[in-house]
A and B are shown apart, each in its own frame.
Chain A
């Protein structure tokens, strides 16, 4: 599995992290090395294996449909990096 610069750029974009040129180079090397190590899983025959649904238990975990106390408005906004009134504020969005 070849990790080229284009793939590193693409991954950085997918996970929304701004990488410096230097980081892109070192990450490329790291990813190459680690992914090569990961490739050993290909040696195993898993053709007869089904990914198991859960840890064997067939229990449905639900919550009853009842309203409960949430956070008071000021608590909810307390960690906001920026706010306007009672809204969380962020820069404008490029139309997606």
Chain B
């Protein structure tokens, strides 16, 4: 690519902004599907959670799941949307083998919520991302392809599962900020129990639209759509790639074409799926098998009153009530389960900072190692508090405490039981310890001499040996004192070698 300010392209000195809009589909946390009583399952044998309704058999009719609808309202409120008082469903008509009725029941003319926003952290401050709409719709079935013949093998278990779609307005932003947006949305949806947003299980899907424009320009550029994004990081990387690609095209004097691209995580690149030359005519019209729904002020109030404290508010409250640093509060409230766990611990033992340290430290480290969520971990607030109490009362040492925690998680036994069983109580009895100290000094004459010569760190070695000897159970402060006492008490240095 020849450089310089060429007449055919844009000067490389011109800066570009990217404009992005994000469309997320999340599965609503319900027992059953949106329009029928089939269970919303994951990983089940194919076509074992289906019925005439979700199979679209002749004569079948939809009946709306109240919980799904209410979760939709909850999400709309949590995202500060205006909630319509009349809400209808519409049919989106198109043919595809995973769509048994050849139409999807969704909301097009109507949406549960409009014009909402969510706050994200922006360099110490906050920024509002505008949300265009929030609505509910049904999922389609799943197609896998036969390896040899390429034929379509269709499983309708997912067909009819309730989805929430959240669409942002397009905004001038960076890929990194989009990542933050996704994290914030996931947090709110998990907090409110609307969805568990597990991307692994396909509960959260994300498509983005991106265009670029010269800084200061009035009109947005042509956008491309990027799909097949399987993680938030993939979204960020795909946007980074696509932004660069579009800018490069424009700099070369070429045009960005409106296309649908698939992101390849391995190569980190986007590639054409198909051209959006002719937009499909979906012939949306109001679903005649469902009457409109009326959302009264009372209903909204009742949903609002049942709604949990949202992440941002909770974070601020943690700072205020528990005197936690902003960082701690942020980490703890990042996940609702963790925040709940923390608060339960605090009611049992009013040392928020200590508890916070343990959770942010050992507990979350374990969660990451085992790749599980807190609810899957075999640890109760009572158990953690018991452990902390034992530590604070001096019955065990810090080192031991970490091992005990691991043992509690492995076995489910209480810290006390484990300590008793393994004999891990901190050894503080001075006589017993003095005996060990003497023994260690006796077996390690060199450090003792070095200490005499002024090498104070030699004492550390001896202390370490005592700890090792006592399998970490000895009270470190007492050991240190005893060792120094013993060394100081030893015969004065013999000036003659």
User: Which A53-91 residues have C-beta < 8 A from chain B?
Assistant: 53-55, 57-71, 73, 76-77, 84-91
Beyond A54-B291, A76-B50, A87-B46, is A67–B153 a contact (Cβ under 8 Å)? no
User: A87–B31 Cα gap in the complex (Å)?
Assistant: 24
The answer to whether A65 and B66 have CB atoms under 8 Å apart is yes
Q: Which chain A residues border B52 with CB–CB below 8 Å? A: 71
Residues on A with beta carbons closer than 8 Å to the beta carbon of B293:
60
Chain A hits for B151, CB < 8 A: 84, 89-92
Cβ of B401 under 8 Å from chain A: no
Could you tell me if A62 and B153 are in contact, using CB atoms closer than 8 angstroms? no
Complex: chain B residue closest to A88, CB-CB? B154
Contact B292 A62, beta carbon cutoff 8 Å: no
Any chain A CB within 8 A of the CB of B461? no
* Distance, CA A57 to CA B379, complexed state (A): 52
B32 touches A65 (CB 8 A): yes
User: Are A87 and B155 touching (Cβ within 8 A)?
Assistant: yes
Judge whether B156 is part of the interface by a CB distance below 8 angstroms: yes
A93 beta carbon closer than 8 Å to chain B: yes
Beyond A65-B66, A93-B143, is A88–B37 a contact (Cβ under 8 Å)? no
* Nearest residue, chain B, Cβ from A82: B151
Distance in angstroms from A79 CB to nearest chain B CB is 8
Check A88/B153 contact, CB under 8 A, given A61-B64, A62-B69, A63-B65.
Answer: yes
Asked whether B51 lies within 8 Å of A62 as measured between CB atoms, the reply is: no
Contact yes or no, B66 A64, CB < 8 A: yes
A91 contacts B48, C-beta separation under 8 Å:
no
- Give complex CA distance A60, B87 in Å: 10
Report the Cα distance A66→B30, complex, angstroms: 9
B67 and A90 contacting across the interface, CB-CB below 8 Å = no
Q: How far is the CA of A62 from the CA of B292 in the complex (A)?
A: 11
A95 with B38: CB separation less than 8 A = no
Interface status of B86 (Cβ within 8 A of chain A)? yes
Bound-complex Cα distance A7 to B292 (A): 33
| Interface of B, helix, strand, loop or mixed by DSSP | loop
B422 contacts chain A at the CB level, 8 A cutoff: no
Q: Tell me if B64 and A70 are in contact (CB < 8 A).
A: no
Whether B32 pairs with A68 at a CB distance below 8 angstroms is yes
Q: Does the CB pair B292–A53 fall under 8 Å?
A: yes
Task: Tell me how far the C-beta of A1 lies from the nearest C-beta in chain B, rounded to whole angstroms.
Answer: 17
Q: What is the interface size of chain A, counting residues whose CB is below 8 A from a CB of the partner?
A: 35
Q: Write the nearest CB–CB distance from A68 to chain B, whole angstroms.
A: 3
**Contact residues in B for A55 (Cβ distance below 8 Å):** 291
- Decide: B86 and A71 in contact? CB cutoff 8 A: no
Interface flags for B66-107 (1: CB within 8 Å of A; 0: not) read 111100000000000000001000000001110000000000
Q: Is the CB of A96 within 8 A of B45?
A: no
- Taking the nearest CB of chain A, how far is it from the CB of B96, in angstroms? 7
User: A14: CB under 8 A from chain B?
Assistant: yes
The answer to whether B274 has its CB under 8 Å from any CB of chain A is yes
Residues of B within 8 A of A85 (CB): 46, 153
Q: CB-CB < 8 A to B281: which residues of A?
A: 14
Query: How far does the alpha carbon of A57 sit from the alpha carbon of B294 in the complex, in Å?
Result: 10
Rounded to whole angstroms, the CA-CA distance of A36 and B152 in the bound complex is 43
Given A86-B47, A92-B151, verify A53-B86 contact (CB < 8 Å). yes
Q: How far, in whole Å, are A69 and B50 apart by their CA atoms in the complex?
A: 9
B47 touches A87 (CB 8 A): yes
Do residues A54 and B292 form an inter-chain contact, with CB atoms below 8 A?
Answer: yes
Q: With A54-B292, A62-B69, A87-B154 known to touch, is A70 a contact of B38 (CB < 8 Å)?
A: yes
B63 interface hit (Cβ, 8 Å): yes
A93 near B97 (CB under 8 angstroms)? yes
Q: With contacts A61-B64, A77-B47, A92-B150 known, is A67 near B31, CB below 8 A?
A: yes
Within 8 A of B (CB), among A14-47: 14, 16
Q: Which of A71, A87, A92, A96 contacts B96 (CB 8 A)?
A: A96
Contact A88 B31 (CB under 8 A): no
B69 touches A89 (CB 8 A): no
Question: Which residues on the B side are within 8 Å of A68 (C-beta)?
Answer: 32, 37-38
Chain A residues positioned under 8 Å from B39 (CB to CB): 67, 70
A80 CA to B86 CA in the complex, in Å?
A: 39
A88–B162 alpha-carbon span in the complex (Å): 22
The answer to whether the Cβ of B347 comes within 8 Å of any Cβ in the partner chain is no
Using A53-B86, A65-B31, A93-B143 as known contacts, say yes or no to A70 and B46 having CB atoms under 8 A apart. no
Please determine whether B67 and A65 come into contact, CB atoms closer than 8 angstroms: yes
How far, in angstroms, from A85 to B152 measured CA to CA in the complex? Answer: 12
Instruction: Give chain A nearest CB distance to B58 CB in angstroms.
Output: 10
Contact of A71 among B50, B144, B152, B292 (CB under 8 A): B50
Please report the C-alpha to C-alpha distance between residue A76 and residue B69 in the assembled complex, in whole angstroms: 27
Residues of A with C-beta under 8 A to B31: 65-67
B55 an interface residue at 8 Å Cβ cutoff?
yes
Between A and B, 8 residue pairs with Cβ closer than 8 Å are: A54-B292, A61-B64, A62-B65, A63-B37, A76-B47, A89-B152, A93-B96, A95-B273
* Top-8 shortest CB links A-B: A68-B37, A65-B67, A87-B153, A62-B66, A70-B51, A92-B150, A88-B154, A54-B291
Which of B's residues lie within 8 Å of A, judged by CB?
30-32, 36-39, 45-52, 54-55, 63-69, 86, 95-97, 143-146, 149-156, 273-274, 281, 283, 290-294
